[in-house]
Amino acid sequence: MKQSLQANDGDRRLNIVGSPVVGVFARCTENVLLVPPVTRPEVIEVLEGYLNVTSVTTWMGGSSVLGSLICGNSTGFVLTSRASVKDMEDLVPYGRVARLPGKISAAGNVILANDSAALAHPGLSARACEVVSKTLGVPVRRGTIGGLKTVGMTAVATNQGVLVHPRLTETELADLEDLFELPVDVGTVNFGSPLVGSGILANSKGYVAGEETTGPELGRIEDALGFVG
C-alpha cells in the first residue's frame, strides 16, 4: 500500500556532516536513526521529523561513517567487526546487536536489508550470513546488484519498496523480487549517482536524500519506495 508524505513536509534534500552522501554517514530503520555526534542538532531534528524516528548519536569503531559500517532493521543491528564494546552497548536498547565476522566487515556497505529479508555480498561466509540472519531475524541470500558486490550502497530497501542501481540485470531483478517480495525499481541520487544507498535514508514512513538530488530523482525515489507526492 502506498503512503502519502505528510502535507507539511518540505524539501527532503539535505547534507550530513557537510556531505550529500547521507546514507554513508547515517543509518535508518523503522524506529531508530543512527548519526555521528558531529551531526548538527538542527539536521538531526529535521531527520527525526522526516523519518518519524528516535535519533541515537554514536561513533562506530571510532568512525563517523555509520551508514557504511552498520546494517539494521527493526529487529537488530549488524556492526563492523571493529565495533567497540561501547559501540555495541549504545545500540542494545534498540534491538539485537552483533559484529559481522570475517574480513569483509563494512556491514552497511555489503548488506541490504529490511524487516523481511537481506541480500548479502557474495563473498560473505556462511557463518557471517548466519550472524546476519539471527541478528536481523530474516532470511539471507547472497547476490549482486548491477554486477556490484557492495549491495548495501547500490540499493535502498524499505518495507514498501526497493530502489536500486540502474544497471540492474534481469536475473538480479528476479532475485530481488523473489527475496523481498516487493516492487523493485531503478534510479539515481545526487545528480546521477547510481549508488542510491549512499545518498538516501528511508523507511516506510519517510525519506531524505542528499542535497544534490534532482527533482526527477526525488520523484523516482518516492515512486519506488511507495510514497505519493
CA angle 148, 132, 145 (to 5 degrees): 15
Contact (Cβ atoms closer than 8 angstroms) between residue 81 and residue 99: yes
Average pLDDT on 195-199 reads: 98
Three cell numbers written together for 79: 556492526
Domain locations along the chain: 20-228
- The per-residue pLDDT for 3 is 52
Is residue 7 predicted with pLDDT exceeding 60?
Answer: no
- What average pLDDT does the structure give for the chain? 95
- The per-residue pLDDT for 130 is 98
What would the pLDDT profile of 207-227 be if each residue is shown by its tens digit? Answer: 999 999 999 999 999 999 999
Q: How far apart are CA 184 and CA 180, in angstroms?
A: 9
Is residue 104 predicted with pLDDT exceeding 60?
Answer: yes
- The per-residue pLDDT for 77 is 98
pTM of the model: 0.95
Average pLDDT on 80-105 reads: 97
CATH 3.30.1330.10 fits 20-228, yes or no: no
